Amino acid sequence: AKSSPGLTLILAASVPLLGIGKNNALPWRLSGEIKYFKQVTTRVDPSCPEKPNAIIMGRKTWDSIPARFRPLPDRINVVLTRGNQAAIDTTTSGKDNVLVASSLDDAIDKVGQKAAHIFVIGGAQIYCQALDHPLTQRILLTEVNSTDPEGVAPIDCDTYFDKFPWYPQSAVKPTSKDGGELQWKRQSYEDLKQFVGDQVTSLQPGPIAEKAYTYEFTLWERMA
């Protein structure tokens, strides 16, 4: 993957357990948050204005996006599958911005030269693979809190980003195998603002209230 851009994970996850899904869908519907996802993954990087961005997703995440919305416009959509590639409709819709790959490395080989930024958009299996990938440099994590009046009801999820031991309240802590050092570090809001750029008008310092939730946009960077 010569001179390919680094990988950025983007996800919204519940606090503190990092729930990301329920019944192969998002656990919530937060219009300001999905607008941020759309703006961040679509925005044209001024230092690379001729290139679109790429989004890499697993086959189950592809399935979770309503057929009428996919492929997501103005981004190169790459769908990972070990199975039947014909099951992913890349042609009949008349859209030419979708391709299929058999692994993360295969996906990077296919879009690395064509894309300004590569975003990994899930789901849990793909986030785990990407977290272990040497090209992964940052995580755009939206922390979602419930504002349930009881203050105790956790957000109902069946899928978790549970391999991120650096998260402050994760059930799993970094082990001495990792050198006992923090490999991932939360960066400041200013750093996040600088990374996403001026076109992302939905970026705000959090927490932001919507429905029965508050959410906050955060940036994490790999230190080693």
What residue ranges bind ligand FOL (CB under 6 A)? 10-12, 26, 33-35, 37-38, 61, 64-65, 69, 72-73, 121-122, 142
User: C-beta of 30: minimal distance to ligand FOL in Å?
Assistant: 7
Q: Using an 8 Å Cβ cutoff, are 80 and 102 in contact?
A: yes
Which residue number, 101 or 200, has a Cβ lying nearer to ligand FOL?
200
Q: Of the two residues 99 and 174, which places its CB atom closer to ligand FOL in the complex? A: 99
Alpha helices by DSSP H, listed for the chain, are 31-42, 59-64, 104-111, 124-131, 189-196
Which of 97/174 has CB closer to ligand FOL?
97
Give Cβ neighbours of residue 105 (< 8 Å, ≥ 6 apart): 1
DSSP 25: B
Residue 33 or 108: the one with the smaller Cβ distance to ligand FOL is: 33
- Yes or no: say if 141 and 218 are a contact pair by the CB < 8 Å rule: yes
Q: Measured from the CB of residue 124, what is the shortest distance to ligand FOL in angstroms?
A: 11
Shortest gap between Cβ of 180 and ligand FOL (angstroms)?
Answer: 30
Judged by beta carbon, residue 5 or residue 33, the one nearer ligand FOL is 33
In whole angstroms, how close is the CB of 26 to ligand FOL at the nearest point?
5
Provide the minimum distance between the beta carbon of 103 and ligand FOL in the complex, in angstroms, as a whole number.
19
Nearest to 7 by CA among 166, 122, 96: 122
